[in-house]
Amino acid sequence: MSDLENLGTVCSSCPACKLAATRKNVVFGEGNSDAQLMIIGEGPGEEEDRTGRPFVGRAGQLLDQILAAVQIPRESIYIANIVKCRPPGNRNPETDEVASCEHWLLEQIQLIRPQIIVTLGNVPTQWATGTSLGITKTRGVWGEFKKLSSPIKIFPMFHPAYLLRNPVRTTGGPKWLTWQDIKTLKAELELLGTKPDIKLEVEQTTLF
């Protein structure tokens, strides 16, 4: 068993915060343990809690479409959340819950050593960058993750759950901005050495 799998096994019985009392499953994270790209969301929702897998509900399906639009295979990346257990009613994780849970995520990042971290939405972006700015200000702006010994590039994007509530594709709308962001991300991944397998001049947002 790999160190990452071992960590997931230990995490699956974590009792460290009040979310343990209401969860069905710990949602540790999944994907390529050697990923260049790691995506960090806020917390598990109902479907994730039921299945124990991250980003498998409606927001997860939209995330898959966004990645597929620039040919980033989901199996090539690693996906986790800032808290591993579902906050009741899908509320945002609270400060004490994030503080109790962050060591799992830090250990995951340390083991995976991604070159880029994408944070989805306010909570993981503020945690990862230390900013108090909202996601409308921080999305699409490169930053640095400095919580470990070597800095890692951070690229904040809208959470797909936000896009489900605000599916505006016209210029300047949330889906249009996400289309710009995912192309920027793909271009950076290509610079870092992933396969140049997409023509980024394709200009349409109807892919998701």
Could you list the residues that contact ligand SF4 (CB under 6 A)?
A: 11, 14, 16-17, 19-20, 26, 83-85, 97, 100-101, 104
Return the number of the residue (42 or 181) whose C-beta is nearest ligand SF4.
42
Contact assessment for residue 69 and residue 186, using Cβ atoms and an 8 Å cutoff = no
Helix residue ranges per DSSP H, 25-156: 46-51, 58-69, 95-112, 122-129, 135-138
Comparing CA positions, the residue from 103, 123, 108, 101 lying closest to residue 16 is 101
Distances from the Cα of 76 to the Cαs of 39, 131, 166, 176, 191, in angstroms?
A: 11, 29, 28, 24, 16
Comparing CA positions, the residue from 102, 5, 55 lying closest to residue 94 is 102
Q: State in angstroms the smallest separation of the CB of 19 from ligand SF4.
A: 4
Return the number of the residue (70 or 112) whose C-beta is nearest ligand SF4.
112
Q: State in angstroms the smallest separation of the CB of 81 from ligand SF4.
A: 9
Contact assessment for residue 16 and residue 103, using Cβ atoms and an 8 Å cutoff = no
Return the number of the residue (104 or 127) whose C-beta is nearest ligand SF4.
104
Q: State in angstroms the smallest separation of the CB of 100 from ligand SF4.
A: 4
Separation CA 164–CA 155 (nearest Å): 20
Q: State in angstroms the smallest separation of the CB of 20 from ligand SF4.
A: 4
Separation CA 1–CA 68 (nearest Å): 30
Return the number of the residue (103 or 137) whose C-beta is nearest ligand SF4.
103
Return the number of the residue (19 or 123) whose C-beta is nearest ligand SF4.
19
Q: State in angstroms the smallest separation of the CB of 106 from ligand SF4.
A: 12
